[in-house]
Amino acid sequence: MRIRFVKTALSGGALAFCLTLAACEKVEERKKNFEELSGQVQEQLTHDVLGEPTDQEILQAASLDDRALAGVMVQRAGVADVTLEEALRTESYFAVGSVIAKPREDMSAIITSDEVAAEVEEEFSAEADQAPLPEAIMSAPEPEPFIEGRSTPMEAREPSLKALRESARAMKPPVVKRLDDTMARKLPEMSDAPRLEKLRQIDGLSQEALKRMEKMPDTAGPRMRRMLDEDKAVVMRERTRERLEKLGLPGQVEARDGGSMVIQVNISPTKYPLEGSQDIRGIKEQRIRNRFAPAKLTTNDLACNSERAKALMKTDAELATRCVVETLEESGDYEYVEKDFIFSHQFERRPSNTPTATISNIKPNDPLWSLQWHFREFGKGNDKSEGGAGFADFWNRTHQTGSAAVTVAVVDTGLQMDHPDIKGSANLAPGFDMVSDPFMGNDGDGRDSDPSDPGDACDPSDPLSEDTFHGTHVAGTVGVAATNNASGVAGGAWNVTIVPVRALGRCGGQLSDINDAIRWAAGVVPARDDIGSEIWNANPADIINLSIGLFERCPASLQEAINDATASGAIVVAAAGNARIDTKYYAPGGCDNVVTVAAGDGRGQLAYYSNYGDAVDIMAPGGDMSRDDDNDGRPDGILSTKTSHNCYDPVTEEPVETCFYAYENGTSMAAPHVSAALALLKSQFPAASADQLKSRLLTATQPRSQLQCSGKCTQYPGSTPIPGEEGMCYRPCGGATLDLAKAPLE
């Protein structure tokens, strides 16, 4: 006001002066100069920093492709119309005709002796004059059972191999020589040396990756030996095939590097009885009905060894799968046998709606940054949010936004490689496509080295079915997109290395593929191409993000894959799930050895959809598309990368057909915030162990009371009523919410 007053007074005085002294030109020049100066002062007062444009000006200056987005306020969806995709996310399903089994460890010595003896007998029976193998070969001493953490199972196996060799001396010399060759070939496979030598020859394998693999804990060596135990795999595959034949079922048995097997039963169902539920679930395609079955339904209670059951199994895929599981379990030859469950992404979905230089003040110039409330400093006021996770504060306190030496693997639906904010990003490293079923892969083949996301819509004939590009959204929150490039959004960790591992495709992802994806991401096992060549991850993950879920307690094979990854030094981060139940009933959030993440909204309270419980370690922003607590006229979802439709221009509010950014919500969105936070902490403390990083993470939090996790008892089965609050219940939710502003820097 003072500036305007002087300006006005000067104008009036100048006019009078001009009329009386005839000096108009000089006065007008002074007037112009003063107006320019006062304008600059006013501009300075409207900006946080002299010369820095406002968030709105940045948004207006961006091109339409760089600022258009999808996501509007929605009403919480009802449950009247449940599509197949919704059913796959809210109930547990499995892939019919697919079973995961792991042979017992204490069978290894007998199997090895039997298999090698059989190999020698078959190959050299003519040279040995058809002489039977010595009794000592078949009665070799059984080694001590394997004990986790013990580093000497090799020594336990040697007596059996030694006895086999010595007993074979009774054979003719050619047989002995070939048997010696067999032993020489097989013994090295039981150590880690050949594997490490192979790894050294891989082009592009980082020295850091080699160092990590060479320094694996003692438990990793024995585990790798078990993975390379081909003898055991051969015998158990044959035994499993024999059991399938007794059931009258054709099929294949494939040994996986993690020590388990995947049994595929080949049947061509002519019907798929779901007791009338198929209409409710909106299943429209017969081929989809034949591939997935609800885990908690069975077609009948027939005894699997009955003739009637064997006849029905030829056309009843669900019954065949159940009987294979039952038969293998009864044999006692397996540590576990389980259905190949279907995992889903953890978007909280809704009905479709039409509508690096070093600097002291780190603030990304991405035009949509101002709408990413979830990265802001925790609190109230300008540039803060009650649901913010404190990333902006951490960037400025540490003067760093991540290191390329830190790797985050995103096990998900893959990545949109042609996304304009991802294409050419320096943060992106080679990944892998682990989806083995071509139908679910939706890309015309099985496993390959291309982790691109071709789309995951389950039922293309359903108008509500759409490609989610879930992995692209998750990876964008971690930091796969180029940040501070005046385009689109910012990521949580701008400069870390992102490895996309595709394990979910059309209709979800099979447990067997997810297990392999976790191990490959951690650098524990190789992937294999079409001709069987090994492809190792040249960037073993420091952090593995699992924004996936299954409404079942943690499957044994999944727990084992997670254990293998953590034994290699990786931290596994898991979404708690969106079923509004205790996380212990959900996987992988309910598994051991994971950092389980619940979702918070823009108020910093547990989101309505989020799972909860004692298994939750931390809460992070997951968003809520039905709320607008910051009153910016937009939903409080998490804004990140993904190609979308039915978009709009946030400047003009005009509709846009296609865009590259979208709001979403779910525990899927919460988990990558924690993965990004761990990546930043690893960048700050590169020598810290996984346990030390997790400890630092749990220190970088705001405390939270039980009242902040309360909700209606009718919506959260099994939760604890709050005294004096009728109809309201507590939901345990980890006790703390992510706030990197609290992270200790010493």
pLDDT top residue among 260 and 476: 476
Residue 215 has pLDDT above 60, yes or no: no
Q: Which two tokens stand for residue 196?
A: 């490490």
pLDDT top residue among 50 and 517: 517
Total Cβ atoms within 10 A of residue 444: 8
Q: Which of 185-189, 239-243, 362-366, 537-541 has the highest mean pLDDT?
A: 537-541
Q: Where are the domains of the chain?
A: 2-52, 64-79+347-352+403-614+624-699, 93-102+231-342, 105-229
pLDDT at position 288 is 60
Torsion angle, CA of 287/288/293/297, rounded to 10 degrees? -90
Exposure of 544 in the CB half-sphere (CA atoms within 13 A): 38
Q: Which residue matches tokens 């701008």?
A: 494
pLDDT at position 203 is 47
CA 293 to chain centre: 23
**% residues pLDDT > 70 (the chain):** 64
Residues 520-532: what's their mean pLDDT?
Answer: 88
Paired with 337 in beta bridges are: 101
In which band, very low, low, confident or very high, does the pLDDT at 522 lie, cut at 50, 70 and 90?
Answer: very high
The 3-state DSSP composition of the chain as helix, strand, coil percent (nearest 5) reads: 40, 15, 45
Residues 11-20: what's their mean pLDDT?
Answer: 42
Is 673 noted as a catalytic residue in this protein?
A: no
Q: Which residue matches tokens 């096990």?
A: 411
In which band, very low, low, confident or very high, does the pLDDT at 296 lie, cut at 50, 70 and 90?
Answer: low
Handedness of CA 567, 573, 578, 582 (dihedral sign): positive
Q: Which two tokens stand for residue 11?
A: 């104008």
Residue 56 has pLDDT above 80, yes or no: no
Residue 225 has pLDDT above 90, yes or no: no
Residues 30-48: what's their mean pLDDT?
Answer: 46
pLDDT top residue among 574 and 118: 574
- Cα angle 312, 316, 322 (rounded to 5 degrees) comes to 95
In the three-class reduction of DSSP (H, G, I as helix; E, B as strand; rest coil), residue 6 is classed as helix
Mean pLDDT of the chain: 75
pLDDT at position 256 is 84
467's enclosing H/E stretch is none
pLDDT at position 419 is 95
Residues 597-602: what's their mean pLDDT?
Answer: 93
Which residue, 94, 200, 215, is CA-closest to 689? 215
Residues 230-245: what's their mean pLDDT?
Answer: 81
Is 470 noted as a catalytic residue in this protein?
A: yes
In which band, very low, low, confident or very high, does the pLDDT at 625 lie, cut at 50, 70 and 90?
Answer: very high
Which residue, 41, 42, 32, is CA-closest to 10? 32
pLDDT top residue among 571 and 44: 571
In which band, very low, low, confident or very high, does the pLDDT at 738 lie, cut at 50, 70 and 90?
Answer: very high
Residue 201 has pLDDT above 60, yes or no: no
CA 342 to chain centre: 14
Which residue, 701, 710, 690, is CA-closest to 739? 701
pLDDT at position 543 is 98
Active-site annotation holder among 160, 668, 675, 710: 668
Paired with 428 in beta bridges are: 498
Is 383 noted as a catalytic residue in this protein?
A: no
In degrees rounded to 5, what are phi and psi of residue 251? Answer: 180, 175
pLDDT at position 736 is 87
Active-site annotation holder among 412, 456, 516, 630: 412
In which band, very low, low, confident or very high, does the pLDDT at 85 lie, cut at 50, 70 and 90?
Answer: low
Paired with 498 in beta bridges are: 408, 428
d(CA 61, CA 56) in angstroms, rounded, equals: 9
Longest CA–CA span in the chain (Å) reads 134
pLDDT tens, 690-705? 999 999 999 999 887 7
pLDDT at position 35 is 55
Q: Which two tokens stand for residue 436?
A: 């083995």
In degrees rounded to 5, what are phi and psi of residue 452? Answer: -60, 145
d(CA 96, CA 274) in angstroms, rounded, equals: 13
Q: Which two tokens stand for residue 51?
A: 């010369």
In the three-class reduction of DSSP (H, G, I as helix; E, B as strand; rest coil), residue 251 is classed as strand
For the chain, counts of helices (H) and of strands (E): 24, 25
Superfamily of domain 64-79+347-352+403-614+624-699: Peptidase S8/S53 domain (3.40.50.200)
In the three-class reduction of DSSP (H, G, I as helix; E, B as strand; rest coil), residue 651 is classed as coil
- The full 3-state SS of 527-585, as one line of letters, equals EECCCCCEECCCCCCCEEEECEEECCCCCHHHHHHHHHHHHCCCEEEEECCCCCCEHHH
Q: Which of 103-117, 411-425, 727-741 has the lowest mean pLDDT?
A: 103-117
pLDDT top residue among 165 and 425: 425
Q: Which of 311-325, 470-484, 601-615 has the lowest mean pLDDT?
A: 311-325
Q: Strands 497-502 and 407-412: what pairing? A: parallel
Residue 417 has pLDDT above 70, yes or no: yes
Residue 156 has pLDDT above 70, yes or no: no
Residues 224-245: what's their mean pLDDT?
Answer: 71
Q: Which of 73-77, 482-486, 583-587 has the lowest mean pLDDT?
A: 73-77
Q: Are 214 and 205 in contact (CB under 8 A)?
A: no
Q: Which of 68-82, 337-351, 535-549 has the lowest mean pLDDT?
A: 68-82
pLDDT top residue among 262 and 318: 262
- Cα angle 390, 395, 400 (rounded to 5 degrees) comes to 150
pTM, rounded to two decimals: 0.73
Q: Are 580 and 611 in contact (CB under 8 A)?
A: yes
Q: Which residue matches tokens 């067999």?
A: 182
Total Cβ atoms within 10 A of residue 254: 13
In the three-class reduction of DSSP (H, G, I as helix; E, B as strand; rest coil), residue 258 is classed as coil
In which band, very low, low, confident or very high, does the pLDDT at 318 lie, cut at 50, 70 and 90?
Answer: confident
- Cα-based distances in Å from 95 to 339, 540, 545: 7, 29, 23
| 3 secondary structure, DSSP code | H
